[in-house]
Structure 1
Amino acid sequence: MQRRTWISALALGALVALGGCSTPKVTDYAAQRPVLDMREYFNGTLDAYGVFTDRSGAVVKRFTVVMDCSWNGNEGVLDEAFTYSDGTHQRRVWRLTAQADGRFVGRADDVVGQAQGQQSGNAFQWAYTLSLPVDGRVIEVQFDDWMYLMDERVMLNRAAMSKFGVRLGDVTLSFFKRKA
């Protein structure tokens, strides 16, 4: 009897521990305000400022981005021009398609396959695989990208970067929408 109680307690503890490991869902933010409309926010010119940090939290690289964004119905183009702290430049052009229920799919030249995303409340969650140049070669890394609208001009973004399920680091960005 005592052994059965011990096994039950152990099983309950394991379930509680696994529940603590669950990740948030974008729909958890459905009641958060202001409500994000991707087509409205990412329309016009935005400036972004960011850092890439490694697993230890050390800043590896700083960067700025100027984004020129436009929509034609459900089809959007986000043209990103990056300038890195080491003086290098990069350009990424996202082609997004808005779908039902706040979902989006997207493509860019350095994205493997399609990016999948969903907005809910003030949040947008975006998942994709990026071909990333590192030390003269290209590796594929996964991004779990979360954006949170703070007000009509400011959005905060944090993306976890991993390979084979091992976290490599984070990208943290702040977006500022220019006044029209």
Structure 2
Amino acid sequence: MTPSKPIIQRRKAVGAIVLTLALGLSACGSAPKPTDYQAEQPAMDFRGYFSGPVQAHGMFTDRSGRVVKRFTVAMQGRWSGDSGVLEEDFTYSNGEKERRVWQLKDLGGGRFEGRAADIVGVAVGEQSGNAIRFSYTMRVPVDGKPIEFQFDDWMYRVDGQVVLNRAAMSKFGIHLGDVTLSFRKP
């Protein structure tokens, strides 16, 4: 017995809905990669942009979007061969100050590594087009106790002077908040 035309049409409709949902869910689960931005301009030149002085303004928002901390950063970068140093001096809205010094390495092919005192292991970076992404684990003091958080840190070159940055912070795969910065080169 052959199914009737309305039953075939319903099966096709259900199949189309299932396929659409599957494709939609897979698109939601696919995280961006630096190579997704390879055609975007102006190109991110991580070494060039973070050579010399750079100023930044930023904030940390919790997972509900509430601003928890605001800050400014005075940065100074220098490179010698494939090795670089990036000094960051933070001033928070509550008056606290913090200093981080990155030891950077250009591995070639748009790949970078970074180390700092509060970074666990190595920060791994990949640059393509107008974007660079760093992934790392950072020890952050919480109520006087250092806790390790994972960061998915993206920077996007907007023009010759401005780079925008968003770093998603998580623990055990749970999104806890975001750090947002606007870098400006004088």
Q: Could you tell me how far apart the structure 2 residues matched to 1:10 and 1:113 are?
A: 45
Residue 76 of structure 1 corresponds to: 84
Superposition RMSD in Å? 1.8
Q: Could you tell me how far apart the structure 1 residues matched to 2:28 and 2:176 are?
A: 22
The counterpart of 1:149, out of the listed 157, 165, 179, is 157
Residue 109 of structure 1 corresponds to: 117
Answer yes or no: is 1:33 the counterpart of 2:59.
no
Q: Could you tell me how far apart the structure 2 residues matched to 1:121 and 1:31 are?
A: 6
1:153 is displaced (CA, Å) by 1.0
How big is each residue's C-alpha offset from its partner over 1:81-128, in whole Å with a ceiling of 9 and x where there is no partner? 000011111000001100121000110000000000011111010100
How big is each residue's C-alpha offset from its partner over 1:27-78, in whole Å with a ceiling of 9 and x where there is no partner? 0100011111111100000110000000110100000000010000110100
Residue 67 of structure 2 corresponds to: 59
Tell me the matched-pair count: 178
1:21 is displaced (CA, Å) by 2.0
Which residues in structure 2 correspond to 1:1-180 (within 5 Å)? 12=19, 13-178=21-186
How big is each residue's C-alpha offset from its partner over 1:129-175, in whole Å with a ceiling of 9 and x where there is no partner? 00000111110000000000111111000010000000110000000
Misfit runs of 4+, over 4 Å = 4-11
TM-score (normalised: structure 2): 0.89
Structure 1: runs of 5 or more not aligned: none
TM-score (normalised: structure 1): 0.92
Q: Identity percentage over the alignment?
A: 58
Q: Could you tell me how far apart the structure 2 residues matched to 1:6 and 1:121 are?
A: 41
